C-alpha cells in the first residue's frame, strides 16, 4: 500500500462521519441533477459516498468510483446503513475510468478534483463516459483570485494533506470543463465554514505537522485572513471559510 493509500485508509471513517456528509453544495447536486428516476449515474472520487447516496434513491443506478479500497468500503457501509441497494462500487482513478463510452446520463464529482493528478485528462474521461446530452455536475474548492491568499491556501492544504494537488480559480476550473467539450449551463458559489481542528485532523498528519499548520494560520497574511475569514479566539484558530464552485455542464 502506498503512503497516499495508507493516508486515505486512515481517513476513510473521518470522511464518512465528518463535514462531507452535509453542506449546501450537496443539496445543489440533487437540485441541479433534477433526476427523472431512470438515470445511470457515476460519482467520481466518491470518498465515503455521500454525493452518490444523495442521488441514489432518485435514479435507476449509481456507480461509485474511488482509487482507494478503504474509501469504497466506507461508502458501502453508508449505503448498507441507509438500506440503499442500487449501487456498484468500482476501484478506479478519475483519469482512467473503466467504462465504455456514453455509459452514463449524469456524472458527478464533489470535493475530489483538487486531488486529481491530471485534471484535464480526468475531464476528458468524464466527457467520454457521458452520453451525448448528459449532465456533468462538478464541485470543488475555489482558490482566491488574490495571489498571496491563493499561495497561502495551497501551502496549508498541502501541509495538512500531501495528497492535495492544486486548488484552481473559478476561471481555471471552467476552462478545464470547456476544453473537455462541456457547455456550461450554470455555476453557483457556496461558502463553507470548517471547524478548524476536525478539518486539520482529517488530513491524517503527525502532531508536529499539525502544529505547523496551526502556526501558519496564526501567522496568515491579511489577504488570507480576509479571503478565508479565519477566526482566531484566545490564540487558537477556531474556523475558516472557503468557497466551493458548483458547476453544471452538458456533454
Q: What angle do CA 218, 194, 149 make, to 5 degrees?
A: 50
Residue in the block written with cell 467539450 = 181
pLDDT in tens, 91-137: 999 999 999 999 999 999 999 999 999 999 999 999 999 999 999 99
Domain boundaries, the chain: 3-144+164-193+242-250
* Cα 197 from Cα 113, distance rounded (Å): 23
Report, at the CATH architecture level, how domain 3-144+164-193+242-250 is classified: 3-Layer(aba) Sandwich (3.40)
Query: What span, in angstroms and rounded, lies between the C-alpha atoms of 89 and 112?
Result: 17
For 55: left if phi > 0, alpha if psi spans -120 to 50, otherwise beta; the answer is: alpha
CA-based nearest residue to 82, from 31, 27, 16, 14:
16
Query: What is the Cα–Cα distance from 138 to 51, expressed in whole angstroms?
Result: 11
3-state helix, strand and coil shares in percent for the chain, rounded to the nearest 5: 45, 25, 25
Residue pLDDT tens, the chain, 251 long: 555 556 555 665 555 555 455 578 899 999 999 999 999 999 999 999 999 999 999 999 999 999 999 999 999 999 999 999 999 999 999 999 999 999 999 999 999 999 999 999 999 999 999 999 999 999 999 999 999 999 999 999 999 999 899 999 999 999 999 999 999 999 999 999 999 999 999 888 899 999 999 999 999 999 999 999 999 999 999 999 999 999 999 99
Model confidence, pTM: 0.91
Strands of 129-171 (E only): list them.
130-142
Per-residue pLDDT tens digits for 174-195: 999 999 999 999 999 999 999 9
Amino acid at each position: 500500500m502506498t503512503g497516499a493509500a495508507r493516508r486515505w485508509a486512515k481517513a476513510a471513517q473521518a470522511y464518512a462521519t465528518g463535514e462531507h456528509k452535509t453542506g449546501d453544495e450537496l443539496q445543489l447536486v440533487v437540485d441541479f441533477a433534477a433526476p427523472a428516476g431512470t438515470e445511470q449515474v457515476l460519482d467520481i472520487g466518491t470518498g465515503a459516498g455521500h454525493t452518490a447516496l444523495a442521488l441514489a434513491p432518485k435514479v435507476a443506478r449509481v456507480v461509485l468510483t474511488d482509487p482507494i479500497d478503504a474509501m469504497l468500503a466506507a461508502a458501502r457501509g453508508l449505503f448498507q446503513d441507509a438500506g440503499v441497494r442500487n449501487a456498484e462500487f468500482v476501484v478506479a482513478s478519475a483519469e482512467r475510468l473503466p467504462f465504455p463510452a456514453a455509459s452514463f446520463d449524469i456524472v458527478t464529482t464533489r470535493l475530489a478534483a483538487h486531488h486529481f493528478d491530471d485534471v484535464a485528462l480526468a475531464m476528458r474521461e468524464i466527457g467520454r463516459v457521458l452520453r451525448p446530452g448528459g449532465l456533468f455536475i462538478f464541485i470543488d474548492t475555489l482558490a482566491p483570485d488574490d495571489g498571496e491568499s491563493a499561495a497561502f491556501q495551497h501551502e496549508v492544504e498541502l501541509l495538512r494533506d500531501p495528497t492535495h494537488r492544486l486548488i484552481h480559480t473559478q476561471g481555471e476550473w471552467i476552462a478545464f470543463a470547456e476544453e473537455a467539450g462541456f457547455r456550461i449551463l450554470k455555476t453557483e458559489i457556496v461558502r463553507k465554514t470548517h471547524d478548524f481542528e476536525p478539518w486539520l485532523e482529517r488530513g491524517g498528519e503527525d502532531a508536529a505537522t499539525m502544529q505547523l499548520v496551526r502556526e501558519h494560520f496564526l501567522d496568515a497574511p491579511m489577504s488570507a485572513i480576509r479571503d478565508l475569514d479565519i477566526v482566531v479566539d484566545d490564540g487558537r484558530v477556531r474556523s475558516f471559510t472557503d468557497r466551493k464552485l458548483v458547476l453544471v455542464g452538458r456533454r
